[in-house]
């Protein structure tokens, strides 16, 4: 029987949404405006890809979902903070995201900067929260915190954003494109996979297999995103088609051509599937996700 | 023999500066512009108060300086990120800090936002770094991470900044003033003290005494800062005297009058000294710091 990915995604997304709502400070707490701004962007209709990756990776090594939820929610908070800051006037200057006004359009620039700062900080608080981590090995939790911070920091996601901005409107070679993509999107993708594997108590061999999956599927995801920016359906996508091109951003299709970019994404998907072949039935969600990433239209 | 505070501060500051230089990514690493921006503000002549508090608190419970250095440096990175973001045009819009152009004036707004983001992230990476933490109890390290994140987040430092901005140019009552000060400055002050106490292996009684010290001395520090903004020496201060008043910021002297504010700061200093009385000779640096905080002129 084929694995029911949409059922899996729905179930896991509901768990993540409920946990985010439980752990994010409520609007009744001071300062309300700040907590409202944080929640506005966290609950703005994101696909929860990174949290689902944490859960699917941990489940692939046999872990219970409960102990994976803090890291899953932390990844979504970090992802959301990065979107809020990327959208700022000084950065990409976007007025809309997923069809809704961006954080700074609603709450003002200062509050948007601070809401991003607070989400990033709250992610690490939650990762280290003793109540949320009951029963977890403290050394494994520290390893997860270090990995997530490394992947999100100056040589990971933030570094990718800096080089992406520096490259706008300039001729960019393949090495630079790969630098940007492995960091801007790939780093959090990989961190999610590794966090799940470690918190789930995976063996060294299992963690290595999942790491390979995270590296290849993460890059495939970004290439597919680039392709969608050209051929995608604007309504399904929730942003302007061709917006990367319009702002002179370098993309895989622009550099390799559309069909070669597609071939590359499919090759990476197959490498990802091969990497986790030994993990058996528990890795079925990760397999379905790798296929979906490359075949999706939005 | 009187304790030599300036000798102590010089020695500890040198240790912290060397460790920051060792742990912050170098400018030879990509993206160089980002790492240059991070280092520009970290090495902009700060007094290293928070790192020194971590060290002095840990030393008060008998710990070796080595195991306290990661947390000490992390506190300085978090403090520096908060200054970079506070100076942004959307926030306080400051062109100078400590007599040098602010981060965004040198590197541009986008890079300043990202340099702050990267410093905050790097602080948590360093706190969880297995090599830097060799020999530390993982559970104690997690407790420190959780405390620092809580004190720096939406209900700590960032929350204080939000309420401070909301209050500019408005009539503010004493409760709001205390809310702002205990969070904007007090929270990181307290987190530094608690981080040192826990990493140093302090007993519950010792941690409680140091917590009381952190709460009272932290507030005294902020009140003294407010007073200095009115009566201070502009050269020694490195910022415009009267700048709080000029932008309509609420301060203790504005609300209580200068002499009552001074009396309040002295009272808090005495409470801080009383709290750590039982800690004996090891707490001598903390005592000298509490006195210095209230008596300093810059």
Provide the pLDDT for residue A251.
85
Q: Which of A125, A140, A195 to mutate to test the interface with B (most CBs of B within 10 A)?
A: A125
pLDDT of A244 higher than 70 = no
User: What pLDDT, in 10s, does the model give residues B71-105?
Assistant: 999 999 999 999 999 999 999 999 999 999 999 99
Average pLDDT over chain A, rounded to an integer:
93
Q: What is the mean pLDDT of residues B153-166?
A: 96
Q: What is the mean pLDDT of residues A201-221?
A: 97
Provide the pLDDT for residue B170.
86
Name the residue among B151, B150, B173, B154 with its Cα closest to residue B162. Answer: B154
Between residues A240 and A276, which one has the greater pLDDT? A276
CA dist., res. A153 & res. A124, Å (int): 13
Between residues A239 and A255, which one has the greater pLDDT? A255
CB contact under 8 A, A109 and B90: yes
Q: What is the mean pLDDT of residues B229-253?
A: 66
**How far from B150 is each of A121, B156, B237, B240, B247, CA to CA, in Å?**
8, 6, 30, 32, 29
Rounded to 5 degrees, what are φ and ψ at A100? -115, 155
Contacts of B166 in chain A (CB under 8 A): 31, 33
Contacts of B159 in chain A (CB under 8 A): 30-31, 34, 118
User: What pLDDT, in 10s, does the model give residues A40-85?
Assistant: 999 999 999 999 999 999 999 999 999 999 999 999 999 999 999 9
Closest Cα in chain B, distance from residue A149 (Å): 5
CB contact under 8 A, A161 and B133: no
Cis peptide leading into B202, omega within 30 of 0? Answer: no
Closest Cα in chain A, distance from residue B125 (Å): 5
CB contact under 8 A, B139 and A138: yes
Residue that has been written with the tokens 């550099």 in this structure: A255
CA dist., res. B145 & res. B156, Å (int): 14
pLDDT of B239 higher than 60 = no
Rounded to 5 degrees, what are φ and ψ at B100? -115, 155
Query: By CB neighbour count within 10 A (0-12 exposed, 13-18 middle, 19+ buried), where does B256 fall?
Result: middle
CB contact under 8 A, A145 and B143: no
Average pLDDT over chain B, rounded to an integer:
93
Name the residue among A183, A198, A177, A179 with its Cα closest to residue A255. Answer: A177
Confidence band, pLDDT 50/70/90 cuts, at residue B251: confident
Is the Cβ–Cβ distance between A159 and A183 less than 8 Å? yes
Is the Cβ–Cβ distance between A187 and A151 less than 8 Å? yes
Q: What is the mean pLDDT of residues B266-288?
A: 97
DSSP for B166-196, written as a single string: HHTTS---HHHHHHHHHHHTHHHHHHHHHHH
Provide the pLDDT for residue A169.
84
Contacts of A116 in chain B (CB under 8 A): 117
CA B80 to chain CA centroid, nearest Å = 9
Provide the pLDDT for residue A145.
98
The angle that helices A258-275 and A204-231 make with each other, rounded to 10 degrees, is 160
pLDDT of A104 higher than 90 = yes
Q: What is the mean pLDDT of residues A184-203?
A: 96
**Across A161-170, A277-286, B25-34, least confident range:** A161-170
Tokens describing residue A183: 């960091």
Provide the pLDDT for residue B296.
81
Q: Taking every pair of C-alpha atoms in chain B, what is the biggest distance, in angstroms?
A: 52
pLDDT of A233 higher than 70 = no
The angle that helices B284-295 and B258-275 make with each other, rounded to 10 degrees, is 180
**Would you kindly state where each structural domain of chain B is located, as residue ranges?**
5-295
**Across A134-143, A169-178, B110-119, B287-296, least confident range:** A169-178
Secondary structure letter of residue A201 according to DSSP: T
Closest Cα in chain A, distance from residue B97 (Å): 19
**Neighbouring residues of A47: CB distance < 8 A, sequence distance ≥ 6:** A13
Provide the pLDDT for residue B163.
95
> pTM for the whole thing?
0.95
User: What pLDDT, in 10s, does the model give residues A265-297?
Assistant: 999 999 999 999 999 999 999 999 999 999 886
Q: What is the mean pLDDT of residues B198-212?
A: 97
CATH code linked to domain A5-295: 1.10.600.10
Closest Cα in chain A, distance from residue B285 (Å): 30
Measured over the CA atoms of residue A39, residue A43, residue A46 and residue A48, the dihedral's sign is positive
What is the value of ipTM here, to two decimals? 0.95
Pairing mode, strands A100-101 and A96-97: antiparallel
Provide the pLDDT for residue B230.
84
Tokens describing residue B87: 């100076």
Cis peptide leading into B31, omega within 30 of 0? Answer: yes
Confidence band, pLDDT 50/70/90 cuts, at residue B247: low
CB contact under 8 A, A128 and B145: yes
Query: By CB neighbour count within 10 A (0-12 exposed, 13-18 middle, 19+ buried), where does A23 fall?
Result: middle
Q: What is the mean pLDDT of residues B196-207?
A: 97
Residue B100 parent element (H or E):
strand B100-101
Secondary structure letter of residue B15 according to DSSP: H
Provide the pLDDT for residue A235.
52
User: What pLDDT, in 10s, does the model give residues B169-189?
Assistant: 888 898 999 999 999 999 999
Contacts of B30 in chain A (CB under 8 A): 155, 159, 163, 179
CB contact under 8 A, B161 and A124: no
Closest Cα in chain A, distance from residue B7 (Å): 35
Provide the pLDDT for residue A243.
62
């Amino acid at each position: 029987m084929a694995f029911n990915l949409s059922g899996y995604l729905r179930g896991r997304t509901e768990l993540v949404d409920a946990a985010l709502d439980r752990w994010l400070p409520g609007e009744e707490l001071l300062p309300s405006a700040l907590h409202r701004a944080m929640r506005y962007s966290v609950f703005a209709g994101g696909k929860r890809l990174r949290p689902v990756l944490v859960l699917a990776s941990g489940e692939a090594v046999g872990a219970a979902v409960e102990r994976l939820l803090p890291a899953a929610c932390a990844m979504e908070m970090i992802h959301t903070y990065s979107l809020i800051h990327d959208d700022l006037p000084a950065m990409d200057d976007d007025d809309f995201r997923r069809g809704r006004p961006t954080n700074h359009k609603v709450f003002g620039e200062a509050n948007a900067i601070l809401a991003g700062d607070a989400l990033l900080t709250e992610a690490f608080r939650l990762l280290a929260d003793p109540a949320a981590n009951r029963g977890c090995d403290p050394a494994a939790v520290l390893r997860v915190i270090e990995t997530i911070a490394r992947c999100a920091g100056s040589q990971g996601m933030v570094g990718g954003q800096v080089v992406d901005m520096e490259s706008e409107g300039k001729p960019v070679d393949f090495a630079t494109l790969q630098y940007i993509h492995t960091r801007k999107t790939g780093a959090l993708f990989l961190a999610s996979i590794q966090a799940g594997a470690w918190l789930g108590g995976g063996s060294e061999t299992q963690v290595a297999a999942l790491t390979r999956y995270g590296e290849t599927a993460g890059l495939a995801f970004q290439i597919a995103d680039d392709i969608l920016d050209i051929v995608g359906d604007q309504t399904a996508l929730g942003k302007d088609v061709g917006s990367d091109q319009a702002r002179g951003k370098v993309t895989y299709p622009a550099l390799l051509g559309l069909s070669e970019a597609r071939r590359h994404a499919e090759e990476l998907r197959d490498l990802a599937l091969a990497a986790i072949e030994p993990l058996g039935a528990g890795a079925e969600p990760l397999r379905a996700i790798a296929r979906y990433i490359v075949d999706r239209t939005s």
